[in-house]
Structures are given as C-alpha cells and as structure tokens.
Structure 1
Amino acid sequence: MTHLPHLVTDLALILGAAGITTLLFKKLKQPLVLGYIIAGLLVGPHFALFPSVMETENITIWAEIGVIFLLFSLGLEFSFKKLVKVGGASSVMALIEVVVMLLLGYLTGKLLGWNTMDSIFLGGILSISSTTIIIRAFEELGVKSHKFAGLVFGVLIVEDLVAILLLVLLSTLAVSQQFAGTEMLAAVMKLAFFLLLWFLAGIFLIPTFLRKASKLMNNETLLIVSLALCLLMVVLAAQVGFSPALGAFIMGSILAETTKAEKIEHLVSSVKDLFGAIFFVSVGMLINPATLVSYAGPIALITLVTLVGKSLSITGGGLISGQGLKTSIQSGMSVSQIGEFSFIIATLGLTLNVTSDFLYPVAVAVSAVTTFTTPYMIRLSEPLYRKVEALLPDKWIASLNEYSSGAQTIGTTSDWKLVLRAYAVNLVVYTVIIIGLVMLAARYLHPFIKETLVNGNLGDVITMSITLIFMAPFLWALAVYHPQKEALGRIWANKNYRSLIIVLEFVRIVIAILFIGFLLNQFFSIQVAIVVGLAIIALLTVFSHKIQNFYIRIENRFMNNLNAREISDAAKMHHTLTPWNAHLTSFEISPDSVVVGKSLVELQVREKYGVNVAVIERGDHTILAPSRGERVFPDDKLYVFGSDEQLETFRQFIGTEMPKTTEQDRKDDVGLQKLLITADSVLLHKTIRQAGVREKAKGLIVGIEKNGERILNPVSETVFEEGDIVWIVGSQWRIKQLEASRQEA
C-alpha cells in the first residue's frame, strides 16, 4: 500500500471537516469563520469523537501562510488613498474606541487576576473590530447606503492601520518585557519610516512594471507575479524586524493603487480562501473545551465589556465629532465584535511565548459570541436611539443638535495653511527618501564597491557620487521647489509677510545642507564633509535646471502611477460614436464657475449648447442620468456627451467665473443655522417662496419645527407661523443680518 505523508492526510481531514461545517453554517446563514473554527475543534487533539490531526507543527506553518495571504487580501481592499479620504469623524471615532478598549481590556485582565502581558494583549484583542462580519451584516440588513454605514467603513479602515501598529508595538513590548517609552517611540517611528518608504518606492516602481509587462501576462502569470511580490515584501519586512504579516499587508495596499487591483484580488481570492480556511481551522484546533468551561465566567465578562465598551466608545466618539445622537448610536452598535485581527494578535502572543495558553481560546469564544450578536445589535440600534432620545432632557437634545450643526461648518482654507501643509508634506516625504538612499548606500552599495571594484578613499568617493546623483532631485525639491506657487505669490504680495517667507526658504536650504552633510559624514571626516558639502551646493545651483527637469519627470511618473486607477476609470467613459462624430468627456467644475449652484434646467445646456449631461460624479457618489432639477456643485465632475464644437463651447461657458465677490463674501462660512419666527418677524405669515430667503440670505431652508412636528425639506408653499423654528443652510452672517432686519422692523 502506498504510504501517504501525514501532511496530506491532515489536509484531507482539515478540509473535509471545514467543507462539511461550512455547508451547514451556510444553510444556517451564519459566518463561515465560525464554521472553520468549529471544524478545527472537531479535528483537534481535544475532541476524541473524530480522527485528529497528527502533525500540528506542519499545520502551524500552513496557518502562518494563511495569515500572510489573509493580510495580503486585506491590503488589496485597504488602499492608503482610502485612509487619506477617511473623514475626521471616522478617525476620531476609531482612535477613541481603540484607546478605550485597550484600557478596558487591560483593566479587565487585571480584575481577573491575569498577569500584565495577558492583560495588555487582551486590550489589543478587544480593540479591533471585524471588517468581514460587519460588511456581511450590513449587506444582509440592507443598510450599506445609510449614513452611519459610511462612518463605520471609515472606522474600519483606520482600525486596519491601527492593528498593524499594534502588531509592531506588542511585538516590541513582548521582546523588551518592559514599558520603555523610548523603545515604543522608536518602534512607532521605525514603522512610520518604512511604511512611507515602501509605499513611495512601491507606487513608483510596481505599477510601471505591471504596465510594461501587461502584454506578457495572462491570469496565471499575474497570479504568480502578485504572490511573488507579496512574499518578497514579507521577506523584506522580516529582514528589518517586522512581522511577515505586515509585509503582506503593505504589498497588498501598494497593489491596491494599480489598475490590476481588482483582477489581482479576484485571482488571489481562491488562494486566500484556501490558506485562510487552514488558518481559522488551526485556530479551532487550539481550543480546549475544558478551558472554555473553566473560563466561562471570564468569557461572559469579557463579552459584556466588548459589547458595552465598543458601543459606548464609538457612540461617544461620534458625538464628540458632531455626528448626532442617532448616527452615533447606530455606528456604536455596529462595531461591537472582534474578528480576524484579534485572532492574529492572539496568535502573536502564543508565538512569542508571552501569553498564557487560556487567552487564545477565550478570545476565540468571545469572537464567536459577539459575531452572533452583531446583526441583532445593528437591528436594535434605532429602537435604542428612540428610547435614549425619550429619556434625555430636552435641553440635552437641543445642545446635542446645536453642537452637531456647528460641527458641520465648512470653512475656507487660508494661503498660509496651503503653503505650510505643502512644505510639511514635502519635508516628511523627501526626508524619508533621502535617508533611505543614504542607508542603502551605506549598507549595500559601499560594501559592494569596496569588495568588487575599488577599495580605499576612491571607493568612498564613487559611493558618495552615485548616492548624490540619486539624491540630487530630492535635495532640489526640498530646498527650491514651491508646490503652492499661487498661494505663495499671494502671501509674498503682502509686504508684512515677506520676512517670514525668507526665513522659511532659508530653513529649507539649511535642511538640504544638513542632509548632504549626513551623507558625507558616512564616508569622510566632519571637516572634509563641510568643505565638500559647500562645493556640492554650488554644483546643485549650477545644474538646477537639469535637476528640475529630472525631478518633474519623477514626480509625474509617481502621480500617474498613484492615480492610475482613476485615470483608467475616466478613460473608460471616453467613447466615440463615429457616425455622429460625438463622444463623452468629463469636466471638473471650479468653485468659481458661473454654473455653481444652478440646476440643469436653469443652465439649459441642451438648448443652448446641444450637449447632454450624462453623469455627475460628486465625491464617492455617482448620479447617473441626472434629472433636470439636479444642481451643480463645486468640484463636481460632469460627463457630457456632444461633438467637439459643442463641447468646446460648453467648456468655455463653464470656465467663465462668477462676478467677483466682496471681501465679506469671501469670508463666508457655510453652516446650519436656526431662526425663530416671532410676532415682529418679516417672514411671519409668508410662504417659503414669498419669504425669499434664498435671495436675501443666500440660504436654503432644509427644515421647520412647527407645533412640535419636524418637517424635513418643506415644500415652497409652507407658511411661516409664530413660534416656528426654521433651519437654514447658508452664509451665517447673512442669516444673522436677516434676524437683525426683523428686529429693526
């Protein structure tokens, strides 16, 4: 009889058990993750009814591969650009939740008499919610389009990055076994440095490589190349002291910015599902039912802490960020569970031998319970909101509404803010690149040149020269480049600020000189470094124009790669109907355009210009076949269909700027204001149409509180009565002027 390796029989047992349990869980409409965990419990060493896996060491290796592909897949869905687009509200909510749950987890562990490391890891386990379970619950309940769902997705994106940070910090803490502030800060700085360096290098190189090799790639080769890139980054992350999972996540997030992202995600999904199943089955194999019985009390307590702590922390974060009571409660009730990252954090504790054996099964049990409760928590969120609103005093409700309205004010961005933010971003980015180049030169280039080409001082000079050539465009950008020329010019026009601009320019040049000194000091003495550094500055000045051209080419390639997906999506919209010599193209609407604020029927684009507006893109929202009453807003993207001549005429029209506004107009802050109708109000007994609030205050009436009833978006024939509270979106000072005119009348 042919002998089968134990690995094959173990895999047959694992996948067979996983297949049966997941079919059952699919029938019961429960998360498959729980099915995998139960399958692992059945084939594990603690359950004698079925055959058990014989070589758990091999399965552990496969499970580690499963973590890598699981994180790689999460990275493909993550995208750093999504993180940048996440609103301040979601960021505040996520950070408050993580801090609160870290503290609650630690205190709960101490209350149960656990040691310090178990308590710390418990805090990390409880702080991250399950993206997979939440998305599935939203889809089943049909709430993905609700306002709170968008906030929750933002929270999950921030949590993914925080989870990666936690993996690094907990690894550092486990190794040092002490709360050394300098070590933790160094770990965070190291993570930030390598994250940014890998992201910049990856976006510059990988999309270009995939684009140039696209003709040679079918599905098979694209899958192989993607997995190779993933594993190469895993090796690189391990080389610099990070967990392999971090490398997989970073490569996934880099590939998420390419035009091949959806295809790679589709190709990798089967591999991820296979190894992910093995990982979750291995999670179940580590569960000892006797441990669960022994720790039933702690499991119940930790489950309660998770449900209550997460709900309250997210709700509190939502209220602090001005999201309103209903949205905050719905968001809080949606994230009250733990999932994939929690298992990975628990696995980290076991791998490093710093946590007790019981912590892992306890975490899995809490995850299972909170997974089952998630749909019910989401369903109960709205009834809970109504009950809380009924219990709270009217003054509190009014204060919350007023705070929420005030938090939604839209302010203008000053020139100073634009310039300083651009300089700060440039400083961080170019600092990381320059330090990265110097580190590569010192660690790899210099030894290579000395060992294989030239030894002695000549080898040092060659290494320094090659490194400087690569550094030159970034030194020039750091010292000379002005990313916000127009804003800088407006500031320079004010003589009072010229001295500050000069100081800023001087500081930038000094920083560039210090980086040159940093490079030279790797190979020469300080005295030689200073002399050579001054000579290099002179050379950079002489060849400034050529360096500038080289830098612009680098920047253009990076930005094209970074925005490749958006460019590709836009290109798909540009089709030509040859028989009619007409095509579809897009226009960005400037905030100063004459069309801003007007509806399509008011603009009469078809009648005047012969074109049709087919699609309006507004942020993440796409309006297909917009109605004639749809209004155009600043930064909208209009997809317009017409001939070349018609589109050119339309382009000239939308390029016309509105008449220049007064100084007061430029200082307008748009916000939600309320206006009380009194006996001497000029609006009393008038309809919305007759009141002319749009013309007098440049405002839009969005709600009226009349006789205790709230009317959202009232019709234009609604009559104002004494005691009505009118909610208006518009220029706050103009609305106050309207109130003042009422009092004078």
Structure 2
Amino acid sequence: MQDAGASFIQDMAVILLVALVVGRICQRIRLSVIVGYLLAGILVGPFMGSFSLVTNEQQIETVAQVGLVFLMFSIGLKLSLRKMRRLGAGMIVAVFSSAGILYFIARSAGSAAGLDGTQTMFLGGAFMVCSSMIMSKVLQEEGVSHEQPGQLALGFGVLEDVVAVIMLTTLNSLVQFGVASTGEAAGSATGTEGAAATMVAAPPAPEIGTTLGHFGAFVVLAGVAGLLLVPWMLRRMSIKIGGELQTLGTAGLLFALATIAQRAGYSLALGAFLLGMIISETPQKNQVERTFEGMRDVFSSVFFVAIGMQINPALLGGAWVAILGLTVAVLAARTLAPTLGLILIGTAPKDALRTGLALTPIGEFSFIIAQLGVSAKVMPAKFYPTVVGVSLLTTLVAPLLTRRSHAISDRLLAWQPRWLGSLVRYYQGWLERFDARSQRSALWQQSRPRLIRIGVGVFFVTGVLMFSEPLLELARHWMGPGWDYVHAPDIIFWTCLSLILVGPLVSLWRNASALAVLCARISLQGQPHAAKLMPVVTAGLKTGVSAALYVWLGALLPGTGSLARWLLVVIGVVALLALFLLRRRLMAWHGVAEVELQTFVDDAKGGDGSSGTAVPWLRTHSEWEMQVGECVLPDLADCRGRTLVELNLRHDHGCSVVSIERQGTLIPMPPPSTALYPLDKVLLMGTQAQIEAGRHFLTQVTGTSHASGFEDLGTEKIPLPAASPAAGRTLRELGLIQTHQVQVVGIHREIRRLLNPGGDEMLMPGDELLVLGTSDKIQAFREWLTPQPPSATG
C-alpha cells in the first residue's frame, strides 16, 4: 500500500511538472495551454516505450475523472438564466440552427466516406462546438472581445457548451445501450495495419427523440429540485458554518449530483454542469468560484494530460493527410454554420461572418467525444489523434482569422452574387416586420408565460415518473422487507409520489385551461355569435387537453410488471383521500415552490453586476478608433494597493480605467482615489496600442515584497523631539495615513496615556507616540519625525 501511494505521488509530480514546462512553452508561442497539456500527456504516456514516465495509468484515469467533474462544473458556473436571458431566444435559435447545419454536413460527409449512422454522429459531435476557452482567450488577446462580433462569439460559445453537453449525453446514452459498431485497430510500430471488425451484441439503440426527451425530463427534474434545494442549503451553510465546511459541503453536492446523473444513465459531466448552472444563480457564486479555482486548475490539467496519454504519436504522424483535409473542412464548416445561424435571426452579414471566423477553434468537448467514441470501439483508433491534430491546427489559425476578420469578411461579401445580397436584405426586413407584429400580438404576449409553465410542468412530471421505478427500488431497500402486508412499501411510495405530483398537475391543468379559454376568446373575436359559441369552443378545447393529459400520464405510469392494476386503484383512492385532507397545505407548499422558481426567473431579468457586457456605443463613434480591453491584476502585481491617481495611466499610457469588477461587484467610472487590488478585473479604454501598454503596466510582476497580512503590522514607540516638523500640528493636518502609511494609535504625554487620539489632537514636543504600521513605513516615519542635524562644514 505504501509503495502504491508513493508511486501515485510520483506520477502526479511528473504529470504536473511536465505539464507546467510544456504549457509554459505553448503559452510563450501564443498557443493554448490545453495544447501544452495534451503534448505533455504524449511525452509521459505509454507510447513512448522505455521513456514512459507514468507507472500507474489506472490511478491517473481516476484523477482525470475528478478533473472532468471540476471542468464541467466551472463551465456550468459561467452559464446562468441571467446570461441566457441577456443573449435572448434569437441567439438560442442561431446556436441550435448552426448545430443542425454542422450535423447535416457531418452526416453527409460521413455517409460519403462509408461511415454508419452512429459513426457520423460522433464525427459531427467532435466538430460541432468550438472551444470556448480557446476562443475567449484569442478574442481577449486580439482586443476584440468588446466589439459586436466578439460579444456575439462569446455568447455563441457559451450556448454551444449547452449543445456539447446535450450531444455528449446523447452519445453516452447510445454507447451505454450498446450500439453496433465497427472498430479498426492500428498496426504495430513497423507501420503494418490490420483491421478488426467487432460487433457488440446488444439491444438496438433507442430513438434519438426518445433519448432527448428523457434527457430533457431529467434536466428539468434535476434543475427544479436543485433550484429549490441547493440555494437553501448554501444559504444555511453560509449562516451556520465557516468557509472550510462550506467548501466541503459544496464539493459533496458536486460529486453527489454527478453520481446521480451517472446512475440515471448519463455522464458524470452532466451532473457537474447542472450544479454549476444552479449555483451560478445564487449569491454564493463568486465565493464558490474562488474556492474551487485552484482545484479546477490542478485536476483539469491532469484530465487533459490523461487525454494526451492516450494519443499514439505513430498514429498522429500517419494521419497527417486526414488532419490537413479535416482542418480545411472544419474551418469552412465552422465559419459557414454560425454565419448562417446568425443571419437567420437578423444579424448583419458582416458581423455574422466575423463571428463565424472567431468560432473556428475546437477543443475540450471534441477531445471528450472523440475519447468516448474510440473507447467504445465505435470509431477507429486513429480518430482520436486526428481530432487532436485538427484542434492544434485550428488553434494556430484562430488568431490570424480573428485579426484579419475585417478584411476576410469584406472580401467574401464582395464576391457574393447580387441576388443573394438582395435576398438577405429582404429576409431581414421581413424578420423585422414579423417581430413588430409578434410584439403587438395579444395572443402571443398573454400565452407565452403559460406555455413556459406548461413546458416546465410536463418535463418535471415526466422526469419524476420516468425515474419512479429506480426510486421505488431504493424505497423498498430503505424500508426493508419486514412488513405484514407485502405491498405496503409500494403503496406508501406511490401515495407519497402522488402527493408530490398533485401540485404540478393541478398547476398544469389550470394553465392549460386558461390557455384554452384565451384561445377560444381570441378565435371568436368579432364573431356575431361569440357569446353562444364561447362555452362550446372552450369545452371542446378543454376536452382535448384532458384527453392529451390522460394519454400522456397513461404512457408514463408503470405497467403491470411492477404494480398490479388493483394496486394502482388503491393508491389512487388513498392519494385522493390524502389530497382532500391536506389540500390546503399541499397547495401552499406548491405555491411556495412556484414563487421560489419565479424569483429566479425574475432575478434573471436584471443584470448580474459583471462587466462582461457589450459596448454598442463604440460602433457609433468608430471614427475615433476607440477600443476597450480587459485585464485581471495578478496576486503580486506591482500596482496593487495603489490608487488610479498614483498610477497616472492616462498621462503615461494614454488609456483610462472606465470600470472595475471586484469580487463580482461592478464599480463603474471609478474616481481617481480608487485603489486597485489583486484579482480586480479592469476595463480599459483607448486605442489598441494604448490598451496594450496599460495592460502590460497593470499586470507587471517583479516580485517586490509587500505587506502580506496582519502579521506584518507592528507598533513602535517614537519620542517627538522639539525640532520635529510634526510638533505643534494636529493629526488631521499631518494626514499620516495618506503621507506615510502609518497611524498614531497612542500618545504618552507626561502622566497621561491617550489611546486612539482624534484628528484634532495636537502633537507636543516630548510626546511619546505609539505608531502602527509595517516596519519599513515606521522606519521611514521615524526618520522624517526626527530630522538629523546639519553636518559641520570645515
């Protein structure tokens, strides 16, 4: 056991140190550190023969799973209802339209290459989403993150992460159900290749629609339960326990929800992503981000190194033709699909094209999907290094495409046929007219909130009933077998479940009924016999709703395999009796839950106080060549603790600070007396060169020692001589805190001791001052307070 532990620690040391060196090299040549981690994995992996440095790959794989959980959790923290509401429904339509276009292209290309349906799904999934981490880094380095195309690309990338999670969950479900697949094995080191076809004997794969429906039901069920429970738990922990225990509780919730998702037939990544989204809606979001940042960096780097360890350099070198060809295809497709998606929702063609050019690099999700396909024997072994190679090339090309997006988009738009430009302009004009009509539509404005409530209710009830049988097994195990009546646990379970569902079902019926009345009223508007027809049409619509609810619930309820029909009748009677007796309390509980959920939705209408917003006013003053750019102050930044007036950025570098984001709180237009502190996110305005100069100055680190904590403070006694410049002046006049960064906390004058003297207290010769400050500041103050006599001259 001791040897195994020492071996694991050695492997971790090797992985982290090699990742540090190679990641730093990639950073210096302006490549993503993710590429460095992958290369580090190749260097320490098993395919290096006698030079392999890792001794126990299984333990590293386990740590990599932890890294995947933390990575997906951090991605989920960046997506919230607030952000999705700011992006709008149009952006969601654009993202899913882009995903559909890319999926169609992948299926067409895969079918032409002889791949089956499942293999084309993995091919499309690997290239369907961009790397939001790489893309945002490129936008920031090129200084375009606050331009309109940059903001569109950032929003697009965030929503593409949702698409990636859906795709990953779907593919994982297909693999778990045992999809028939064909695997191709690579040859030996001599270069010979052999093909081995393996068929997995398993039940047929579920329909994609059913899989996505179950996925949606699980997400809504977990989301509603999480929004009701997780904020309450975090709030209680923040009141009752300290920071260390809060971290343990949050980590426990993270691994618990990841495990629940995995037990439900999905991936660990889904549960971690959902918890991140839930916590992003709570006031504890910034605290959780700070707490988990270090763990995320360590474990996610191990995850990417573990991915690199599975890459065979021989296969990577042998697939260079396929890598080049796929890179060209991916660059074209990943530019085309987002451009069409954005034009579909009315974005200007040039902005849409520039956004598409910024969304070309692929990364972390592509690696995960490729790894899943190869490990499940669905895709050939060379598919994995091919995806890594394409990611490397797209990462190399991304800065050039982003930098030259103006010229490239102008050239491409100049080549488009005149009829195509006219068609786009006509479509966007029609879209504006349609949007204006929909804003005036009374039916749409009144029915939209009810349709949302109905959709959430349907998915919630579906999720509960879909997972009812696994929950029943858990209930049977928990209640034990020692019951006089064998079906007693089943009756108790289904009665409780019915009471849980009665509130959502009643709310569902009320919203559907109100929607039926609304539709009937508007459809009969202006009819001569509207008053007589109104009850008939309303009754017909409610009958249709009742029939739909009956068919829906009948399809979801368990069959005779788990419960006898008579038992369902008994449970129904017991549930109705309990409902009659407890109807007020049950509806009150449901009302509280509905109010809690509505609070989250209402809060999402406002901003989140961050600075990551667009700056459309820059476009109206483009002749001034104004730009904005962000920088985050390092922990040891030389400028930390200094005020804006001391830094004098506008005079020395030509740029100005227009906003500061500190611990999730926005400080707009900070006054000159505002001091900068480590981890402040500073928004600079100026020309591109001025912003780069200001960013370099603010992030400069020379390692100069500053006071690091309360332990560096101390007190010293200093006598006040008669010739001192402070004699006869008040503490307010001296302003010692501003001028010398020290404070007089006590004065010993003859037989009196004055603690914490006020600003009007005058210092007298012979006073003994008790001074608080750091040792260097106190020494400098002592020298100022006690001037040296002039030296004698001969």
Correspondence for 1:278: 302
> In terms of mean alpha carbon deviation, does 183-192 or 132-141 score higher?
183-192
Which residues of 2 match residues 602-613 of structure 1 at below 5 A?
none
- Corresponding residue number in structure 1 for 2:595: 556
In the superposition, relative to structure 1, how do residues 153 and 484 fare at CA in structure 2: closer, same or farther (>3 Å)?
farther
Looking at structure 1, the residues matched to 558 and 337 of structure 2 have their Cα atoms a distance apart, in angstroms, of: 51
Question: CA 1:82–1:133 in 2, change beyond 3 Å: closer, same or farther?
Answer: same
In 2, Cα distance between equivalents of 1:366 and 1:489: 56
Displacement, 1:275?
1.0
The alignment partner of 1:338 has SS state of coil
Asked if 1 retains the 8 angstrom alpha-carbon contact of 2:503 and 2:586, the reply is yes
Structure 1 residue 347 and structure 2 residue 374: aligned? no
Is the deviation greater in 301-310 or in 406-415? 406-415
Residue equivalent to 1:13: 14
Partner of 1:673: none
Which residue number corresponds to residue 244 of structure 2?
220
Is there any run of 5+ residues in structure 1 with no aligned partner, and where? 571-614, 616-621, 626-745
Deviation at 1:453, TM superposition (A): 5.1
In the alignment, what sits opposite 1:467?
497
CA distance in 1, matches of 2:271, 2:405: 38
1:414 to 441, 463, 476: 441
User: Which of 452, 457, 466 pairs up with 1:430?
Assistant: 457
CA distance in 2, matches of 1:535, 1:276: 51
Do the aligned partners of residues 408 and 139 (structure 1) sit closer, same or farther apart at CA in structure 2, a change above 3 Å counting? Answer: farther
Question: Where does residue 191 of structure 1 map in the other structure?
Answer: 215
Give the match for residue 59 of structure 2: 58
Give the Å deviation of 1:428: 3.4
Letter in 1 for 2:591: I
Root-mean-square deviation over aligned CA pairs = 3.7
Distance 1:109 1:464 in 2: 47
Contact between 1:313 and 1:332, CA under 8 Å: does it hold in 2? yes
Matches of 1:120 and 1:550, distance apart in 2: 44
Q: Which amino acid aligns with 2:456?
A: V
Deviations 1:373-416 (A, max 9, x none): 11111122211222233334555434433432332343325343
Give the length in aligned residue pairs: 574
Question: CA 1:325–1:426 in 2, change beyond 3 Å: closer, same or farther?
Answer: closer
Instruction: Look up the match of 1:149.
Output: 150
Alignment partners' CA distance in 2, 1:454 and 1:488:
53
Shift, 1:235, TM fit: 1.2
Counterpart-to-counterpart distance in 1, 2:440 and 2:178: 45
- Tell me how far apart the structure 2 counterparts of residues 336 and 558 of structure 1 sit (CA, whole Å): 37
Between 528-537 and 431-440, the greater mean CA deviation after superposition: 528-537
Task: Decide which of 486, 502, 513 is 2:539's aligned counterpart.
Answer: 502
Whole-angstrom distance in 2 between the partners of 1:463 and 1:115: 44
Matched, 1:238 2:262: yes
CA contact (8 A) 2:81 2:604 kept: no
**Cα distance in 1 for residues equivalent to 2:427 and 2:325:** 35
Matched, 1:445 2:484: no
Contact 1:44 1:284 in 2 (8 A): yes
2:7–2:56: 8 Å Cα contact kept in structure 1? Answer: yes
Deviation string for 1:327-348 (max 9, x for gaps)? Answer: 1211111111211100110111
- Asked if 1:480 is matched to 2:480, the reply is no
Separation in structure 1 between the aligned mates of residue 430 and residue 667 of structure 2, nearest angstrom: 28
Asked if 1 retains the 8 angstrom alpha-carbon contact of 2:520 and 2:534, the reply is no
More moved, 143-152 vs 87-96: 87-96
Tell me which moved more, 179-188 or 154-163. Answer: 179-188
1:268 CA drift (Å): 1.2
Aligned partner of 2:165 in structure 1 is 164
Q: After the TM superposition, which residues 311-326 of structure 1 pair with which residues of structure 2 at under 5 Å, given as runs?
A: 311-326=335-350
Instruction: Verify the 8 A CA contact 1:434 1:515 in the aligned structure 2.
Output: no
Alignment of structure 1 residues 343-742 onto 2, 5 Å = 343-409=367-433, 410-411=436-437, 412=439, 414-418=441-445, 420-438=447-465, 439=468, 442-445=472-475, 448-449=478-479, 451-452=481-482, 455-456=485-486, 461-480=491-510, 495=531, 497-507=534-544, 526=565, 533=572, 547-560=586-599
**SS class of match (2:78):** helix
CA positional deviation for 1:296: 1.0
Flag the 1:451–1:23 CA change in 2: closer, same or farther, 3 A: same
**Which of structures 1 and 2 has the bigger CA Rg?**
2
2:507 maps to amino acid: A
CA contact (8 A) 1:479 1:505 kept: no
Residues 104 and 305, structure 1, Cα contact 8 Å, conserved in 2: no
Contact 2:513 2:542 in 1 (8 A): no
> Is there any run of 5+ residues in structure 2 with no aligned partner, and where?
182-203, 610-658, 660-665, 670-794
Does the residue aligned with 2:481 lie in a helix, a strand or coil? helix
Amino acid at match of 2:152: L
Match of 2:293 in 1: 269
Relative distance call for 1:454 and 1:92 in structure 2 (3 A) is same
Paired amino acid for 2:505 = L
Contact 1:292 1:361 in 2 (8 A): yes
Counterpart-to-counterpart distance in 1, 2:571 and 2:7 = 65
Q: Which is worse superposed, 148-157 or 449-458?
A: 449-458
Structure 2 CA distance, aligned partners of 1:527 and 1:237?
33
1:129 maps to a residue whose letter is C
Q: Partners of 1:550 and 1:489 in 2: how far apart?
A: 32
2:737 counterpart residue number: none
After superposition, residues 288-307 of structure 1 pair within 5 angstroms as 288-307=312-331
- How far, CA to CA, are the matches of 1:96 and 1:165 in structure 2? 14
Give the residue type in structure 2 aligned to 1:177. V
Deviates more, 1:362-371 or 1:494-503: 494-503
Per-residue CA deviations over 1:355-375 (Å, capped at 9, x if unaligned) read 222111111111011011111
Q: CA deviation at 1:129?
A: 0.7
Instruction: Please say if residues 40 and 308 of structure 2, whose CA atoms lie closer than 8 Å, have aligned partners that are also in contact.
Output: yes
Q: Give, as a single letter, the amino acid of the residue that structure 1 aligns with 2:497.
A: T
Question: In the alignment, is the contact (CA less than 8 A) between 1:292 and 1:365 conserved in 2?
Answer: yes
> After superposition, what is the alpha-carbon deviation per residue over 1:244-296, rounded to whole angstroms, capped at 9, x for unaligned?
12221122222222211122122111111101111112222223332222111
Contact persistence 2:41–2:309 (CA under 8 A): yes
Match of 1:76 in 2: 77
How far apart in 2 are the matches of 1:539 and 1:61?
A: 48
Spell out, residue by residue over 1:281-312, the C-alpha distance to the aligned partner (whole angstroms, 9 max, x if none). 22222233322221111010000011111112
Aligned residue for 1:134?
135
CA apart distance, 1:17: 1.0
What TM-score, normalized to structure 2? 0.65
- Structure 2 SS opposite 1:149: helix
Q: Within 1, Cα distance between the matches of 2:552 and 2:421? A: 56
Counterpart-to-counterpart distance in 1, 2:179 and 2:19: 38
Aligned residue identity for 1:467:
L
What is the alpha-carbon distance in structure 2 between the residues aligned to residue 40 and residue 489 of structure 1? 64
TM-aligned CA deviation for residue 512 of structure 1: 6.6
| CA 225–430 in structure 1, closer or farther in 2 if over 3 Å, else same | same
Tell me the residue number matched to 1:654: none
**Cα separation, partners in 2 of 1:527 and 1:111, compared to 1, 3 Å:** closer
Identify which range, 135-144 or 42-51, moves more after superposition.
42-51
Amino acid at match of 2:319: Y
Deviations 1:409-467 (A, max 9, x none): 43325343355444443333334444555516644435655725552465555444433
Which of 152, 176, 181 matches 2:178?
Answer: 176
Quick one: structure 1 residues 567 and 89, their matched pair in 2 at CA, closer, same or farther if it must change by over 3 Å?
closer
Tell whether the 8 Å contact from 2:450 to 2:511 is kept in structure 1 after alignment.
Answer: no
Partner of 1:93: 94
Query: C-alpha displacement at 1:56, in angstroms?
Result: 2.1
Q: Do the aligned partners of 1:478 and 1:508 also contact (CA within 8 Å) in 2?
A: no
Structure 1 residues 480 and 205: alpha-carbon distance in aligned structure 2, compared to 1, 3 A threshold: same
* Aligned-pair CA distance for 1:218: 3.3
Residues 638-676 of structure 1: CA deviation (Å, up to 9, x unaligned): xxxxxxxxxxxxxxxxxxxxxxxxxxxxxxxxxxxxxxx
Q: Distance in 2 between matches of 1:459 and 1:280?
A: 47
Specify the code of the residue in structure 1 equivalent to 2:208. M
